[in-house]
Amino acid sequence: MCATTSCSMKNYRAVRGTRDILPDEVPRWQFVEATAREHLHRYGFREIRTPVLEGTELFARSVGASTDIVRKEMYTFSAGDESVTLRPENTASVVRAFVEHSLHRTATHEYPERLYYIGPMFRHERPQKGRQRQFHQVGVEVLGSASPLADAETLQMLWSWLARLQIRGLTLSINSVGDATCRPGFREALRAWLLPRLPQLCEDCNRRYAENPLRVFDCKVEADRALLGDAPTLLDLLCAPCRAHFDEVQALLRGYEIPFTVDGRMVRGLDYYQRTVFEVTSSALGAQNAVLGGGRYDGLVEELGGPPVPGFGFALGIERLLLLLPEGEGAAAPLDVAVIALGTDGFAAAVSLTRRLREGGVSAVMPLAERPLSAQIRRAERQGARFALFVGKDEVAAGRYGLKDLHTGEQREATLEDVVGAASGRIHVG
């Protein structure tokens, strides 16, 4: 410790845009993750864990070289003679793994491979509420099926999970961004519309016009956004198969009674999408209002060297979801027992008793040095322990201990076996 103000000791802090998730917050995270796992299991999803590091080229190829993510937001560095990137998203990695391990062999149109992941992503964006440089996603990828039912069923799974979490006030917006047949025509129509307006648009939009005009819809400049509000949408130019797919997705969503709006200008910030795209937003979130986003990416597996396997998925931002999760959800599991050691003899006995409680499946703590009774009780209450177990010389001789229910205040004598039973809720004190 430094005693003087001239102390030169550095105060280390978490890197800007990253944060520590402290023990008091973790139960809410675990709650979201556990309900996600349980819910996804019901729908036949299996977890996949890919590395956080990938070859840089993977993202340029899939997310797209002209996207903001690849142009400005990736954490890229060289290690040896390799250029590697901390994943800014995980669809590319999952598809890379899918191809690398030939998972397509068992994924069919009728029985697609349903995968999910939970983990950190990294984007060098300007931090603000709901936007960090390290953030966490729950994501799913359904690989193999081109059916509109894959889109709708996955959205139904999502909607019922959000309902279980009691997240309210959400809006589902959907759109179709067409495919390789109809998008080139739209790109040209958009270019023609943009051309006379280029002088009014920002420098970035002028670059987008040349590189990939659809990306103008990513523009954050207010004046540009207002102008682009009148731009043509792809919905008017969809080819017949894309139109049929989009109509069927909407019909299925209505069948599932999932409310949605069609937003013809939503293109999403990643290049791999084809046909359906969607976002779920909440007005309670402020500027960064997207809780999740996703869509169909039928060309991506091929683009990354695999066979023509269609895909559909989404990713949800856990930090943003937590901002919407009702207060009481995700409470910490209480500690079962605080062992209160009375005197030196009690302390020695408490050490072995605590061990036996733990071996019996009970969560139990005791101080690691002798402490006054009052201090131990205060601590037990602060730790939210369910029971206090008093261990002194007499109790050890009798094999019976004072067991106090800290919720009700009731107290009685109990054996070790009783305590194990009480802690697991099988018997009640009193």
Per CB under 6 A, residues contacting ligand HAM are 89-91, 123, 125, 130-132, 135, 137, 139, 141, 269-270, 290-295, 313-315, 317, 319-320
Measured distance CA(390)–CA(350) in Å, rounded: 9
In the bound state with ligand HAM, the residue whose beta carbon lies nearer, of 117 and 401, is 117
Closer residue to ligand HAM, CB minimum distance, 250 or 281:
281
Residue count of the chain: 430
Contact 174, 262 (CB under 8 A): yes
Cβ(122)–Cβ(75) below 8 Å: yes
CB of 142 to ligand HAM, least distance (A): 9
Q: What single-letter DSSP state applies at residue 332?
A: P
Which residues make Cβ contacts (< 8 Å) with residue 4, sequence separation at least 6?
Answer: none
On whether the CB atoms of residues 201 and 210 are closer than 8 A, the answer is: no
Alpha carbons 62 and 92: distance in angstroms, whole number: 6
Which residue's CB is nearer to ligand HAM, number 316 or number 388? 316
Nearer to ligand HAM, 308 or 361 (CB): 308
List beta partners, residue 273: none
Of 269 and 343, the one with the shorter C-beta distance to ligand HAM is: 269
CB of 111 to ligand HAM, least distance (A): 19
Q: Tell me the C-alpha distance between 406 and 388, whole Å.
A: 7
Q: Closer CB to ligand HAM, residue 147 or residue 376? A: 147
Closest C-alpha to 111, from 123, 103, 122: 103
Provide the total of helices (H) and of strands (E) in the chain, helices listed first.
15, 16
Pairing of strands 387-391, 337-341: parallel
| Cα separations in angstroms, 101 against 95, 96, 288 | 10, 9, 36
Nearer to ligand HAM, 250 or 276 (CB): 276
CB of 181 to ligand HAM, least distance (A): 21
CA of residue 14 relative to chain centroid, distance: 20
What distance in Å separates the CA atoms of residue 304 and residue 143, rounded to the nearest whole number? 14
Q: Shortest approach of ligand HAM to residue 146 CB, angstroms? A: 15
What Rg value do the Cα atoms of the chain yield, rounded? Answer: 28
Answer for the pair 104, 308: CB distance below 8 angstroms, yes or no.
no
DSSP for 72-107, please give it. H--EEEEETTEEEEE-S-SHHHHHHHHHHTTGGGS-
Pick between residue 315 and residue 342 the one whose CB is nearest to ligand HAM: 315
Q: 3-class DSSP state for residue 115? A: strand
Decide whether 231 or 323 has the Cβ nearer to ligand HAM: 323
Q: Where are the beta strands (DSSP E) in 126-234?
A: 134-143, 170-176
Smaller CB separation from ligand HAM, 139 or 213? 139
Strands 411-414 and 387-391: unpaired
In the Cβ-directed half-sphere of 254, how many Cα atoms lie within 13 Å?
8
Q: Closest separation between CB of residue 423 and ligand HAM, Å?
A: 39
Closer to ligand HAM at the Cβ: 139 or 144?
139
Least distance between ligand HAM and beta carbon 393 (Å): 57
In the bound state, the residue with its beta carbon closest to ligand HAM is 317
Q: Are 56 and 83 in contact (CB under 8 A)?
A: yes
Residue 229: Cβ within 10 Å count: 8
